[in-house]
Copies of this chain bind each other. A is one copy, B any other.
């Protein structure tokens, strides 16, 4: 297997969180990037990641490099795609298995920004190392597509949420305003969410009903391998 020995395997992760844009205070999709401090692409921003360790599974490698670079331990971590074009890294052959993760805003807040770790708005990242712009665009496409037919929004929200909070997630991901009454009608008629007995109280607004995703209408789209709890964690 001499041919195969020349190929290196790396694992990288796209981690999305929702944050307010400093420009207009709207919620938008953000992701943390890491500045490269060696060639190739010295100085460019890149996805967090690194070489696959000989004794770790793919998802473990994604979780480890994430924690090392960003201090994040997301509950939702799913394999996105394997990128392996011959020309994606000058002078070496690297196949990158890319995971993607969604974190709640309060989880994202533990991620410390440093000179070499910074959060960017996903729709306006700079020119990245390797083919990482292609990867970010693909992850964004997957996020927007999957929002329509899965329970993925709860990864941003936790188990219970108001319909206003759910709408804000949809608006942030799809980058367009949604009519509150229409949104409420569509969500309620879909059967995908069900009301709980709890209310969200406090804050500036009047108490609002909390909802949760309907586990009787299971989210089958992740499939048997799609999203798995990480070792020692429970699935979000």
Chain A interface residues toward B at CB < 8 A: 1, 3-10, 51-58, 79, 81-82, 84-86, 93, 95, 97, 137-138, 141-142, 145, 149, 220-221, 223-225
Quick check: A57 and B79 within 8 Å, CB to CB?
no
9 closest A-B pairs by CB: A4-B51, A58-B84, A4-B8, A82-B82, A7-B9, A82-B97, A6-B54, A57-B85, A1-B51
Q: Which chain B residues border A9 with CB–CB below 8 Å?
A: 4, 7, 9, 84, 95
A34 to chain B, nearest CB (A): 17
Cα A227 to Cα B8 in complex, Å, equals 24
Closest to A149 in B: B149
12 contacts across the A-B interface (CB closer than 8 A):
A3-B51, A3-B54, A4-B9, A6-B54, A55-B86, A58-B85, A82-B97, A137-B224, A138-B223, A141-B224, A145-B220, A149-B149
Main secondary structure of the interface of A (DSSP, over half): mixed
How many of these chains are in the complex? 2
Closest to A8 in B: B4
Closest to A4 in B: B51
Quick check: A10 and B5 within 8 Å, CB to CB?
no
Cα A125 to Cα B212 in complex, Å, equals 40
Quick check: B223 and A52 within 8 Å, CB to CB?
no
Q: Which chain B residues border A10 with CB–CB below 8 Å?
A: 4
Quick check: B141 and A52 within 8 Å, CB to CB?
no
Cα A145 to Cα B3 in complex, Å, equals 36
Quick check: B7 and A52 within 8 Å, CB to CB?
yes
Quick check: A82 and B85 within 8 Å, CB to CB?
no
Cα A195 to Cα B183 in complex, Å, equals 34
A140 to chain B, nearest CB (A): 10
Q: Which chain B residues border A5 with CB–CB below 8 Å?
A: 5, 8
Cα A54 to Cα B89 in complex, Å, equals 13
Q: Which chain B residues border A51 with CB–CB below 8 Å?
A: 1, 3-4
Q: Which chain B residues border A145 with CB–CB below 8 Å?
A: 220-221, 223
Please name 7 further chain A to chain B contacts, defined as beta carbons within 8 Å, in addition to the given A4-B9, A9-B84, A138-B225, sorted by A numbering.
Answer: A3-B51, A4-B52, A7-B9, A7-B52, A55-B86, A95-B95, A145-B223
